[in-house]
Amino acid sequence: MLKTMKEALRKMAVVFAVAGAIAAPMAAQAEGKTIRIGWTAWSDAEAVTNVAKQLLEKRLGYKVELVMADIGVQYNGIAKGQLDVMLMAWLPNTHKAYWEKVSDKVEDLGVLYDDARLGWVVPDYVPESEVKSIEDLKKPGVAAKFKGKIQGIDPGAGLMRASEAAVKGYGLDDYRLMTASDAAMVLAIDRATKRNEWIVATTWAPHWMFAQYKLRFLDDPKQSLGGAEAIHAVARKGFEKDFPKAAAFIKEFKIPLADLQAIMLKAKDSSYEKEAAAYIASHPQMVDQWLHKAVTVTAQ
């Protein structure tokens, strides 16, 4: 869910005249069949948004405009009818504060993918019989095998705040929570797995590294890091009436988490546009399932 260093830099480069950019009247957009999709440079959101954009344009005949904006701005834009839809609402926990403010002003079009979560991971070669949960990190001798470190990410990230609370809540006095960038966290995992060393790291899913490394989340019985999340599509009021085919498609748009992470991994060395197109081309039956209700809609 959190931005990689590359994505963060790109987002910083965007000039956000967002309020003006998303304020065009919806009636005019509906007439011109242009759908405005809000997005943020999170790799999972970029992958899903590009798949949706290509199908909306190439299979359903709409014009799509992608509007990059902060997540809070997106919720506000949807609620005010200044954006049509967003494909990155983390519910019920991560975006709870945003959702509670706008839930009566927007339409939930359903789950795009689930099993998303924040948490701590270890490589699969760390025996589950020894370390299955965060509680197990306190077992005698375990801290030494992890060198007394929990590899973290950026110090200001919500995941790090939750991890700091977890360290205290679980009484992990023999560990230091290490701050670093997302890229440095992945590098630490890469180095450890090549050496078959034990490592525990803070991370989230979906993330492309799950498609590259064999990792598993540690159980979190205290729920210090939150539970499983589902990512929803959220639309403005009246979206389904103005864009019935688009709404029918989005309600059926369900992408497996493993597939999403594979797209994200490939896009690192390619582009999200290219990998979205490749995924669509290689999954015709799934795409037809997503579109089967949309193509029967006649009203426009």
Which pLDDT score, from 0 to 100, does residue 16 have?
37
- Tokens representing 130? 């020894």
Other beta carbons within 10 angstroms of residue 97's beta carbon come to 10
Question: Is the pLDDT higher at 41 or at 231?
Answer: 231
- Digit-coded pLDDT (tens) for 91-131: 998 888 899 999 999 999 999 999 899 999 999 999 999 99
Which pLDDT score, from 0 to 100, does residue 242 have?
96
Least confident of 10-14, 83-87, 160-164: 10-14
Across 10-34, average pLDDT: 44
- Digit-coded pLDDT (tens) for 168-192: 999 999 999 999 988 899 999 999 9
Which pLDDT score, from 0 to 100, does residue 291 have?
98
| CA dihedral (96, 99, 104, 107) positive or negative | negative
Please name each of the domains of the chain with its CATH number.
5-115+228-296 (3.40.190.10), 117-217 (3.40.190.100)
Which pLDDT score, from 0 to 100, does residue 5 have?
37
Whole-number Å distance between alpha carbons of 294 and 41: 28
Which pLDDT score, from 0 to 100, does residue 298 have?
66
Percent of the chain with pLDDT strictly greater than 70: 88
- Digit-coded pLDDT (tens) for 192-222: 999 999 999 999 999 999 999 999 999 999 9
Which pLDDT score, from 0 to 100, does residue 63 have?
97
Residue 26's φ and ψ, nearest 5 degrees, are -70, -30
Residue 270: DSSP 8-state:
S
Question: Is the pLDDT higher at 153 or at 20?
Answer: 153
